[in-house]
């Protein structure tokens, strides 16, 4: 395969992949030592559908910092052990959830990424820019 053909194939893959993941940017802020609420959209693009897993990443880290897995008999929460018990996902309704960080600290400031995988619909991704306000 020529390099031109390879570039064309890669471009097509990127176009298809990017069109399946809806991107949204949200903003959140909290004071140092306070509570931050990072929103995530849970609405599937095709209905009816159900959520398989909600995964949160911080910044450019490849490894997740938080997972909410609904694939088994009972939903399971998992947080990166180094975060302690400061992070917790709350489901508000069928379409919305928030990742709560409490107490916050200055090192929590970052862009967070929430990816929701569904049984049928394409994944939905929400980016949340968290600002921590110091003294």
Can you tell me the mean pLDDT for 56-67?
A: 96
The predicted pLDDT at position 4 comes to: 54
pLDDT, tens only, 10-49: 433 333 334 344 455 899 999 999 999 999 999 998 888 9
- Report all structural domains of the chain as residue ranges with CATH numbers, in order of start: 23-133 (2.60.40.10)
Q: Please choose, from the candidates 26, 57, 5, 27, the residue with its C-alpha nearest in 3D space to the C-alpha of residue 132.
A: 27
Q: What is the pTM assigned to this prediction? A: 0.80
Secondary structure (3-state) at 54 = strand
**Are the CB atoms for 116 and 54 separated by under 8 Å?**
yes
**Are the CB atoms for 70 and 53 separated by under 8 Å?**
yes
pLDDT, tens only, 76-105: 999 999 998 999 999 999 899 999 999 999
């Amino acid at each position: 395969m020529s390099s031109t053909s390879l570039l064309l194939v890669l471009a097509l893959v990127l176009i298809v992949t990017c069109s399946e993941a809806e991107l949204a940017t949200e903003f959140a802020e909290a004071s140092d030592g306070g509570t931050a609420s990072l929103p995530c959209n849970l609405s599937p693009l095709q209905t009816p559908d159900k959520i398989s897993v909600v995964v949160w990443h911080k910044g450019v880290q490849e490894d997740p910092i938080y997972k909410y897995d609904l694939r088994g008999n009972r939903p399971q929460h998992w947080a990166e052990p180094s975060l302690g018990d400061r992070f917790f996902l709350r489901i508000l309704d069928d379409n919305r959830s928030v990742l709560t960080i409490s107490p916050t600290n200055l090192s929590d400031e970052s862009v967070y990424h929430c990816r929701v995988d569904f049984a049928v619909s394409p994944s939905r991704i929400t980016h949340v820019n968290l600002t921590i306000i110091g003294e």
